[in-house]
């Protein structure tokens, strides 16, 4: 990152939101460290939990974060975190309490968004890791991912995304009625507001394990995703949605089983 990019990214702040049940403080500490060590940007981290236990409060303090309590589920918790933004927060993100940002991810993404004021989100490649942090594989989104999201969920991993905060507000934030695919719904809504830019590097790591909400509830997650796709579809795309939803569902279930078998063997 050159000096011009660094000076540009230091002119604003980034809001990072981590929703948590505070049941995995070891992985949460890892997540916090990955945010705290981002270079070339000013980041404010908000942890949203149902209860600010002494252990959670101490962990947050050690990593320069603060805790906000909220009784709602993940979508409502993330929205509560986004509501902590100040006028200085030009960009925002949210990340799970067992996922990671890769070094310089936020400086890279914010520089790309600063260079294109019509862009509302930046996304990139994603490492898949196990609960110990070991690399399983890396996934690179196809070039037309923002368009293909209308047909295939999960092409863009939310963990890799940095959002323009104004766009988040304009589209209403996360839909709090959704349990699994609030990220897909948000991306489809943002796609109608502006361009997505792609960081051609690994931006984040997603922790693949049986306790992950979408992994543990794959059938329900897929059903919700296809419902979200249908309500965001327009014109001919909406008419054709019933034709491809079953092949796409089969493909995703097959890929999930393959990954799970590989992890079991490992």
Q: What is the pLDDT of residues 238-260, one digit of tens each?
A: 666 666 666 666 666 666 666 66
Strand pairing of 100-101 and 195-207? antiparallel
Strand pairing of 66-69 and 89-94? unpaired
pLDDT on residue 116: 97
pLDDT on residue 207: 93
pLDDT on residue 199: 97
Q: What is the pLDDT of residues 193-229, one digit of tens each?
A: 999 999 999 999 999 875 554 555 667 888 888 788 8
Residues of the chain with pLDDT under 70: 1-10, 210-218, 236-266
Cα–Cα distance, 251 to 230 (Å, whole number)? 18
pLDDT on residue 209: 73
- The whole-model pTM stands at 0.85
pLDDT on residue 215: 54
Write b or e for each residue in 243-264: b if 16 or more Cβ atoms lie within 10 A of its Cβ, otherwise e. eebeebbeebeeebeeeeeeee
Domain parsing of the chain, residue ranges: 3-212
pLDDT on residue 7: 42
pLDDT on residue 234: 74
pLDDT on residue 210: 59
φ, ψ (nearest 5 deg) of residue 57: -60, -40
3-state SS assignment for residue 29: helix
Q: Which CATH superfamily is domain 3-212 in?
A: Spore Coat Polysaccharide Biosynthesis Protein SpsA; Chain A (3.90.550.10)
pLDDT on residue 87: 96
């Amino acid at each position: 990152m050159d000096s011009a990019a660094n000076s540009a990214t230091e002119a604003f702040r980034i809001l990072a939101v981590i929703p948590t049940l505070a049941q995995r403080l070891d992985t949460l500490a890892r997540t916090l460290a990955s945010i705290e060590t981002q270079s070339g940007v000013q980041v404010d981290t908000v942890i949203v939990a149902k209860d600010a236990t002494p252990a959670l409060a101490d962990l947050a303090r050690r990593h320069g974060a603060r805790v906000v309590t909220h009784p709602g589920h993940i979508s409502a918790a993330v929205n509560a975190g986004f509501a902590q933004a100040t006028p200085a927060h030009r960009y925002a993100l949210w990340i799970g309490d067992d996922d990671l940002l890769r070094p310089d991810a936020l400086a890279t993404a914010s520089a790309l968004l600063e260079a294109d004021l019509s862009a509302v989100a930046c996304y990139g490649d994603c490492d898949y890791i196990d609960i110990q942090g070991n690399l399983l594989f890396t996934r690179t989104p196809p070039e037309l991912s923002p368009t293909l999201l209308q047909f295939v969920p999960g092409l863009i991993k939310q963990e890799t995304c940095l959002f323009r905060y104004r766009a988040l507000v304009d589209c209403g934030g996360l839909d709090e009625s959704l349990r699994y695919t609030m990220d897909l719904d948000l991306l489809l809504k943002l796609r109608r507001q502006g361009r997505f830019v792609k960081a051609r590097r690994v931006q984040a790591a997603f922790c693949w394990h049986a306790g992950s909400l979408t992994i543990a509830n794959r059938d329900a997650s897929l059903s919700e995703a296809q419902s979200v796709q249908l309500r965001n579809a327009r014109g001919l795309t909406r008419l054709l949605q019933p034709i491809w939803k079953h092949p796409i569902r089969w493909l995703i279930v097959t890929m999930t089983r393959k990954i799970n078998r590989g992890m079991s063997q490992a």
